[in-house]
Amino acid sequence: MALSVSSSLAESTQNDDNEAEQEEDYLPIPETDEAGPTSLRGVGRFLAQKSARAMLMKCDKNPKICHFKGSPGHYCCKKKCVSYAKDRLNCGKCGHKCKYSEICCKGKCVNPLSDKKHCGGCKTKCRKGSKCVYGMCSYA
């Protein structure tokens, strides 16, 4: 008799747990207005990357706008303010693109994986006698 009572209590607690799990699985989805945004995250990532000020800095009519504070660069290239010293698509001059594995350092395309003067990044020099291998000085 005591055994049957304890087994029935155990079954009832298991049933209560299962019902609670099922209720959590079937929570109603809140209804939204059809006119509202469809994204649950808000603004997309590509829109959040550019500030409104940077989007307004087009230099096709007034190239001097590139000299203002907050400008991405001092030169006007294809209606955009760019930096010839750092921009991979306009390295050293307008339209000069660096190769896939290269970066732009001081207006020159360099490979940071093997360049002794720019090992791993711009202005990172290796010591005398050491080599730059895989972007690290004196590897192995």
Residue 103 resides in a domain: yes
Q: Using CB atoms within 10 Å of the CB of residue 18, give its burial: 0 to 12 exposed, 13 to 18 middle, 19+ buried.
A: exposed
Residue type, 17: D
Q: 89 versus 70: which is more confidently predicted?
A: 89
What's the pLDDT at 8? 52
Whether the CB-CB separation of 15 and 8 falls below 8 Å is answered with: no
Tell me the per-residue pLDDT of 72-104, one tens digit each, with 9 for 90 and over. 888 888 888 888 888 899 999 999 999 999 999
Domain identity same for 76 and 105: no
Say if 36 falls within a structural domain: no
Domain that holds residue 110: 99-139
Question: Do 86 and 111 share a domain, yes or no?
Answer: no
User: Is residue 109 scored above 90 in pLDDT?
Assistant: yes
Domains in the chain, number = 2
Is residue 70 assigned to a domain?
A: yes
Are 134 and 113 in a shared domain? yes
